Amino acid sequence: MAVLAKVALAALLGSAVSAAAAERTGETAWGRLALGYDAAGRPEVVHTPLPWLLPTIGRTLSGNPYGTGALAFGVADAPQPPGVHGQALSFLFYSDGYFAQNPAAHIAIVLKGRWAHDDPVTPVYEGDLSGRGIVIGNVSARADGCRLAPTAQVESFWRGGNALFPQTCSRPLRDRTWYRMRILASNARGIAYQITDPDGSTVYANHAMQDPGAHIDETLGGFAILQVFESVRVPTWRLWFDEVRTWWY
C-alpha cells in the first residue's frame, strides 16, 4: 500500500511539473540578482530587472535593513490567487567563490511563504520564515541534512522550526558553474525540484516528495531567495541568479 501511495504521489507531482510548464498563471520575470557584500562589509542585493535590454541598469537593495544576517530578495507577504494548485520558481544559478569561502553557509529558496527580518533593537522577535522549497549549500551539521556539501535538498520552513528531507539530496554542486533550477510547491504539501548542468544533463530531479506536516498556511503566496550563515563578509564572492521567474499553476 505504501509503495502504491508513493507511486501515486510521484505521478501527481510529475503531472504538476508538466502542468507548471504548460499552464502558467501570473508569470513574473524578475530579471537578474547579485547577492554579496560591499567593500565596507555591508550586505547588498543588486537587482537588474531587464538585463537583456538594460544590462547596466540595476538598483542596489539593502540585504537586511538591520545589518548582516541575511541577503534577501522576493515578495515578503502576499495572498495566493484563487483557483491555483501551487507556485513555481525557476532561475539560472552561479556561485562565484561562495561555496569555497563560506563552507558552512547556505541559501534558502522559499515558495508559497512569508518572511520578515527581525529588528535586533526591539525586545519582540519579528522574524518570520514560512513556506516550502529547497536549501542550497551546507546543512551537514543537521542530523537530517545532506552528508555531502555543497548540495541542494528539499526543506520545509516552519515559523519556529523546519524540516529537511535527506532522501532529496542532489549531487555536489561546484563554484563557477551555471545551473538551471526549477522548484515547485503545491497546495497538497508537495515539493519538487530539478537541477540541470549547462549541457542540459540532470544533476537532480525529484518529483515524489511530500511534507508530512501541516505546519504552514497553504494560502500564503510570497517567495524568497535568502542567503544566511556566511563566514566572509567582503566582496570576494558573489551569488548570481539570472532569468528569475515565478508563476502559479
pLDDT values of the chain reduced to their tens digit, one per residue, 249 residues: 333 343 344 444 444 455 455 589 999 999 999 999 999 888 889 999 999 888 888 898 866 665 555 789 999 999 999 999 999 999 999 999 999 999 999 999 999 999 987 777 888 877 788 999 999 999 999 999 999 999 999 999 987 778 999 999 999 999 999 999 999 999 999 999 999 988 888 989 986 688 887 788 999 999 999 998 999 999 999 999 999 999 999
Q: For residue 50, give Cα distances in angstroms to 29, 31, 58, 72, 192.
A: 9, 6, 8, 19, 28
Q: Minimal CA–CA distance to 227: which of 119, 146, 129, 90?
A: 129
CATH number of 2-248: 2.60.120
CA-CA distance, 154 to 166, in Å (whole number)? 8
Q: Minimal CA–CA distance to 216: which of 86, 112, 77?
A: 112
Q: Minimal CA–CA distance to 197: which of 171, 218, 220, 215?
A: 171
CB-based contact 195:92 (threshold 8 Å): no
- Position 241 scores a pLDDT of 98
Cell 547596466 -> residue: 56
- Position 168 scores a pLDDT of 95
SS3 state of residue 90: strand
CA-CA distance, 167 to 165, in Å (whole number)? 6
- Position 22 scores a pLDDT of 56
pTM: 0.87
- Position 109 scores a pLDDT of 97
CA-CA distance, 222 to 178, in Å (whole number)? 26
- Position 64 scores a pLDDT of 66
**Alpha helices (runs of H) in 41-177, residue ranges in sequence order:** 98-101
Beta bridge partners of 186: 86
- Cα Rg of the chain, angstroms: 17
What cell numbers appear for 98 in the block? 561562495
Cβ neighbors of 248 (< 8 A, separation 6 or more) are 24, 25, 26, 80, 81, 84, 86, 87, 88
CA-CA distance, 36 to 240, in Å (whole number)? 9
Q: Which amino acid is at 89?
A: L
CB-based contact 42:24 (threshold 8 Å): no
Q: Which amino acid is at 211?
A: D
What are residue 184's phi and psi, to 5 degrees? Answer: -130, 140
